[in-house]
Structure 1
Amino acid sequence: MKNSLFLVLSVLFFSCNKPIEKNQLLQNRIDSLEIKLSETYKPGFGEFMSNIQIHHAKLWFAGQNKNWKLADFEINEIKENLVGIQQYCKDRPETKSLGIIDSAMASISNSIQQKNQKAFQKDYINLTNSCNTCHQETKHEYNVIKIPETPPFSNQDFRLNERK
């Protein structure tokens, strides 16, 4: 009888330890994954801004050539980078100022959808000025954006290609 009682108590004791061991294994795994996640590369504010600058320039040449599909693509690339800033650079004070360009982004998106080159040119200037206003407000006044004079890449044709 004593052996039976000892066996039952031993089984219960080891059974009760299983959830604790399993919980500890899961916690160890979570801790390990959190360390890996904290060490994962995250693009910085400057990388996003450099991408925006490239797409800003390409947007100009697309609109100048009435390549509205390309212009739409470029404005959406700018939007994606702005979302990236809000996602990955939440701790930067500059992120809070991004709303300065919202109105200009909406206007230029509208002129692209309407395929209106005259409105596009006006809205592009407004977007550029909004970028500079944001730079001034965030103490980056030394970073002045302007209308590009030459395409950023010599290996891209910004003219509308009508091949079918």
Structure 2
Amino acid sequence: MKYWLLLITAIPFWACNAPDQNTASLQRQIDSLQARINKAYKPGFGEFMSGIQVHHNKLWFAGINQNWALADFEINEIKESLDDIRTYCTDRPETKSIGMIDAPLQNIANAIQQKNDTGFKSAFKVLTATCNTCHQATQHGFNVIIIPSLPPFSNQEFRLQDKK
């Protein structure tokens, strides 16, 4: 009985100390996957900002045409891009300044939800000024954003369409 008890007690210790033959194989798989992750495409800060600029433009034309559904879509696209910057561009110091845009975006979102034309225009001006303030703060003051005068695309209708 004594030997059985000793044997039962010793087996877990022996099993824990036994070399794992799969460790090297698993490590190779981890290294291979890490190499693939390191080579995966990751949009840069500029790509995100270019997308935001397009959505900023489209947001303006949707709002001034009181196409609130499109305006809501565009404001959410901007928010999504800013979230992506926060996720994928953590190595860029500019990312730390992105938060200054949150309140102006929320003010526009509120105006859109209320279908408030005057509130939208006012909030959009503040948003545009905040973009420029951020650019100044991050040493990108050469990138000046304005209220758009022309739609970004000639193949999109921004006026609200009659439902027939």
**1:3 counterpart residue number:** none
The CA deviation string for residues 80-131 of structure 1, in whole angstroms up to 9 with x for no partner, is 0000000000010000001111110110110000000000000000000000
Displacement over 3 Å in runs of 4+: none
Structure 2: unaligned runs, 5 residues or longer: 1-14
**1:28 counterpart residue number:** 28
Q: Secondary structure at the match of 1:49?
A: helix
1:53 paired with 2:75, answer no
Q: Secondary structure at the match of 1:20?
A: coil
Over aligned residues, Cα RMSD in angstroms? 1.6
Q: Percent of pairs identical after alignment?
A: 60
The CA deviation string for residues 21-58 of structure 1, in whole angstroms up to 9 with x for no partner, is 21211111011000000000000000000000000000
Q: How does 1:1-150 map to 2 (within 5 A)?
A: 20-150=20-150
Aligned length: 150
> Aligned partners of 2:158, 2:148: CA distance in 1, in Å?
13
Deviation at 1:163, TM superposition (A): 2.4
Q: Which amino acid aligns with 2:42?
A: K
> Aligned partners of 2:122, 2:38: CA distance in 1, in Å?
43
Q: Secondary structure at the match of 2:22?
A: helix
Worse overlay, 140-149 or 19-28: 19-28
> Aligned partners of 1:107, 1:19: CA distance in 2, in Å?
61
> Aligned partners of 1:21, 1:41: CA distance in 2, in Å?
34
Structure 1: unaligned runs, 5 residues or longer: 1-14
Worse overlay, 22-31 or 119-128: 22-31
Deviation at 1:19, TM superposition (A): 5.8
TM-score by length of structure 1 reads: 0.88
